[in-house]
Chains A and B, each alone.
Chain A
Amino acid sequence: MAAKIESSSTAEYFAKNLQQVGFSSPTKAVLTTLKEAVDNSLDACEFAGILPELEIKVNRVGKGSQKNTELISIVVEDNGPGIDPDDIAKVFGEYLASSKFGKGQCSRGQQGIGISAATTWAQLTSASGVTVITKTKNMRKAVKAIVDVDIKKNKGILRTKDSIDWDKPHGVRVEFKMDGRIQLNGEGGLLTYVEGTTLVNPHLNLRYKLLDEDWVDSKRVTEEIPEIPAPVNPHPHTMKLGEFITHAHLYGGISLSKWLKTSFSRVSDQSIKDFLQHGLKKNMLNTSVNKLTDEDFKAIYKAIQDTELMAPSTKSVLTVGEEALSKSIQKLGQVDFFSVLTRKPKICDAKPVVVDVAIARFLNRGSEEDQVQLLRFANRVPLQFDKAACAITKAIESVNWRSYGLNQPKDSVPYGPYVFAVSVVSPFIKFKNASKETIDASEELVEELRLALMQAGQKLSRHIRAEVRAEDLERKIRHIEQFGPILVEGLVRMTGANEKRKKAAEEGLKKLLGRDASAAEKDVKEAHGKLEEMKAKQAAKGIGHGTEMTEAIAEESIETTESLKTEAKKEDKTEKKSKKEQPQKTAKKRK
């Protein structure tokens, strides 16, 4: 007899497979929970047009229920619009309950899985879900509730619900108590997450306390709330057949023609005519989508895929922006120099994408022996795990950074005291897994990222080149001082020449090498000029540089060569004169 087939709820599935959504270890559980809570807060503030003020506190509060774990408290408080008390259970206790699902907007959260998974983890490990305090601007008192997930039914349950006084005009405070472990530094560290979040959210005021560290205030560098572009209808070329059919069922009994024109972007009357030419049957156009069979949908889908359509609009994407990035990157440490770049929106795999890149060299972060610190972002959320398979990493590895003056083993991430921050923003980011840790490395996206990185690398190389030239000049001057006298002394010893000849040779050598130093100095000036030109262009865009290190080096080098330069100029004049006087003699000698 065949086994009895039973169906399980979505919550049951996720409760058994929490590792798929970022809860694969106690360390990751803490980070994922923090991330989900912060994402929700930031999204809520942005959609309500509020400049976000967030407070984060992560602390150890006891021993965990599982072996080698601790009981961790994670508190995130925001000044967002607050959640309607009736929605609390749904938001925190029900999977796939989202206000953003499939909307085609560049929001951090998309599916409504993350925060419910955090509640589940807390519930499974500490027997209590999430404690939520919420207040909207219309409420006099706040509501405090403990939410659990009813795993069998995929429903949120309010275990307690009380009215409390809260001095905030509006906002949400969530507290999770769960088994976990805390890692502060390194790629998967909480500090790395917090730094990354402030980097790509320049409008965020963040106050945080991690473990026993002091409270840290990270102030916003811009007062501008990012304008979230209006959602766009999906482009038919971005859908699979199944999605296409499901999409039809959302629209009820409207005609096929109307459905195609109103529920998709880039489908016009002309497009409908083109579909007809590519096999769409005319009589279907006025048929209600409810009456179409799967076979009909297959034929319609094929005709659409065979027809060339205008690329999706890029209006639906937002960027972090060069100006904001240039300011926020300086919060990470003492920046020596940096290069920021925002590409124009581009269509990759039929989806609009914007790439921002910031590369900065730090005076107090990293070293020449270490790989550069790579900060990856998808829709302004830091990605901290599974670096190797990510499109961003693959793009970095494919660039020849040596040509920009960085140390790089072949096909690998370069080395040096740099931070590479790369952000991908798109309403439809394709992740490799449900935990959204790795961006799928499609050929088109990797190429777009590569172009952005190369452009940023070119800007960076101006700084490095100016430094190299200045070092070269220094080396040349050092060579003159070190080897000139030794060479002459050696020649004098070998030939047995007298003191007079020695002096004459020393003078001659100094003049010759002074000319070389003069030429090298010209190179430094030229490189410096190009750098200044680039800085001026950036300044016009509002991108300022923290320190002017290269300028200092160049000026110092120029100063030290001043005496040699004068000497060489004098000599040049004398030489020109003597050349005029003795042209025949020189010609004869060369023969």
Chain B
Amino acid sequence: MSTISIKIGKGKDVAHLSKEVCEMMLRDLERAQRPVLEATKCALDNSFYNPKVGYLTPGNKKVKTELNVSSVQKMARAIFMLEILLRNIKVGAVNNKRELYYIAKGEVKHNPKLKSLDFADQDESDAIIDFICEMFEIYREELNCFANDRGGQTYSLQLEVTETMPDGKKAVIDLSKLGTSPFQPKNRPQALKLKAKKKIDFALIVESEATANTFVSNGFTRRNNCILIGAQGVPSNAVRGWCKLIQDQLRIPMFFFGDLDAYTLQNIFRTLKAGSAASLIRNSDFSAPDVKFLGVLPEDIKKYELHDYGVKETDVGEMRALKKAKDALDNDPFFKDKKNKHLSEILQWLLKNKRRCEQQSLFMVDPKDPTMPEKVILEKIKKGSYI
């Protein structure tokens, strides 16, 4: 029995390494030995928060798949899917997971010998794609498998983006020329290069895409040298990679503004800032540890006399989020680390008071002034009222 453990660094040739894995498996089989494929365990119990880098990193736990009668199907499917993905890379084609599910079905349709590999539903093919990624410790984008570019609509009058196209050509996007249309970042931030035409003071990521749009319509980007992004809920890979890119390439202060509730704090903000347990192998490129939590903070409720309200016991979603918040305080290495003490204090406050306050409540501070939320945000940035 031999263990096939692959360590791929950035820029390594996936095709070459795939061939290496297959060669080792074949060699084991020739000797009637069981090949064992090893993948990083992407789960909370293998997550460590490194305050120096600021995101969740994987521990040493591995998920081993040894060839036996139960795993032979999984291994055969993994090799089958790997062939499809490598073919895509070779010809420069890209697909999302749903499309790959249908491509796999098409292969089976045209080759009856492969019938037993047929995926009954997309969950099955998704699991195989994830397994390949975890085994090679690569992002699925590196296998030309992209997710929907959800969220991240970006507005700025100072930012210029240069995108290197698959054919090597470059496209330059001046965001100030887009009118009221936003720039939509792609899932492959490595292909983007950023430039500030004029000094940019800060980037503001707003949880609600609609509220971000309102800010732009009311002149936020005209009055401030900034980048304004709508996160659209839990940040997608595109949003996470995009924020990381802004952080690394522009080195400007970054702030997140969203609801004051357990879900926002642990699902949205934590994922943006430090990544997630499910994506341990990609957090280094898909988290922006410098982003600060601008609010809504518990003290803002009192200071700006914001309307907050109790979480209803009957609200299943909210109650689940509170339960998860308790688990996070006990088990999540991000919230357990003293570097994020103030964030865990907010979670504790939410658990204790069972109240929530929405980001849009800033519009009640002075209902006659549509720019009031902007004024509050700028005041908070100026006074350092963030965590």
**Chain A residues packing against B (C-beta within 8 Å):** 476, 479-480, 482-484, 486-488, 490-495, 497, 501, 504-505, 507-509, 511-513, 516-517, 520, 571, 575, 589-590
**Chain B residues packing against A (C-beta within 8 Å):** 1-2, 18-19, 22-23, 25-26, 28-34, 67-70, 72-73, 75-76, 79-80, 82-83, 113-114, 116-117
Interface pair A495/B116, CB less than 8 Å apart: no
Q: Could you tell me the distance in whole angstroms from the C-beta of B141 to the nearest C-beta in chain A?
A: 22
Determine the distance from Cα of A495 to Cα of B79 in the docked complex, in whole angstroms.
11
Chain A: which residue is nearest B75 at the CB level? A487
Interface pair A575/B32, CB less than 8 Å apart: yes
Dominant secondary structure at the B interface: helix
Interface pair B29/A486, CB less than 8 Å apart: no
Interface pair A501/B80, CB less than 8 Å apart: no
Given contacts A491-B29, A494-B22, A505-B26, contact A513 B72 (CB under 8 A): yes
Given contacts A486-B80, A508-B31, A512-B34, contact A491 B69 (CB under 8 A): no
Interface pair B70/A479, CB less than 8 Å apart: yes
Query: Which residues in B have their C-beta under 8 angstroms from that of A480?
Result: 69, 72
Q: Could you tell me the distance in whole angstroms from the C-beta of B25 to the nearest C-beta in chain A?
A: 6
Q: Could you tell me the distance in whole angstroms from the C-beta of A589 to the nearest C-beta in chain B?
A: 6
Interface pair A490/B76, CB less than 8 Å apart: yes
Interface pair B114/A486, CB less than 8 Å apart: yes
Interface pair B69/A479, CB less than 8 Å apart: yes
Given contacts A482-B116, A487-B75, contact A508 B70 (CB under 8 A): no
Q: Could you tell me the distance in whole angstroms from the C-beta of A106 to the nearest C-beta in chain B?
A: 50
Query: Which residues in A have their C-beta under 8 angstroms from that of B73?
Result: 479, 482-483
Interface pair B114/A512, CB less than 8 Å apart: no
Q: Could you tell me the distance in whole angstroms from the C-beta of A560 to the nearest C-beta in chain B?
A: 14
Please, could you name 17 A-B residue pairs with CB atoms under 8 Å apart, sorted by A? A476-B70, A479-B70, A479-B73, A483-B72, A486-B113, A486-B114, A488-B29, A490-B22, A490-B80, A494-B18, A494-B79, A495-B23, A497-B26, A505-B30, A509-B29, A512-B33, A575-B32
Query: Which residues in A have their C-beta under 8 angstroms from that of B18?
Result: 494
Given contacts A505-B26, A590-B2, contact A491 B33 (CB under 8 A): no
Determine the distance from Cα of A452 to Cα of B113 in the docked complex, in whole angstroms.
51
Determine the distance from Cα of A430 to Cα of B357 in the docked complex, in whole angstroms.
57
Q: Could you tell me the distance in whole angstroms from the C-beta of B324 to the nearest C-beta in chain A?
A: 22
Determine the distance from Cα of A483 to Cα of B19 in the docked complex, in whole angstroms.
20
Determine the distance from Cα of A507 to Cα of B31 in the docked complex, in whole angstroms.
9
| A479 contact from B23, B28, B72, Cβ within 8 A | B72
Interface pair B116/A486, CB less than 8 Å apart: yes
Q: Could you tell me the distance in whole angstroms from the C-beta of B85 to the nearest C-beta in chain A?
A: 12
Interface pair A513/B68, CB less than 8 Å apart: yes
5 closest A-B pairs by beta carbon, nearest first, are: A490-B79, A508-B32, A494-B22, A482-B116, A505-B29
Determine the distance from Cα of A487 to Cα of B68 in the docked complex, in whole angstroms.
12
Chain A: which residue is nearest B20 at the CB level? A495
Determine the distance from Cα of A51 to Cα of B121 in the docked complex, in whole angstroms.
62
- Residue among A508, A517, A575, A589 having the largest count of chain B Cβ atoms under 10 Å: A508
Q: Could you tell me the distance in whole angstroms from the C-beta of B108 to the nearest C-beta in chain A?
A: 11
| A495 contact from B26, B34, B68, Cβ within 8 A | B26
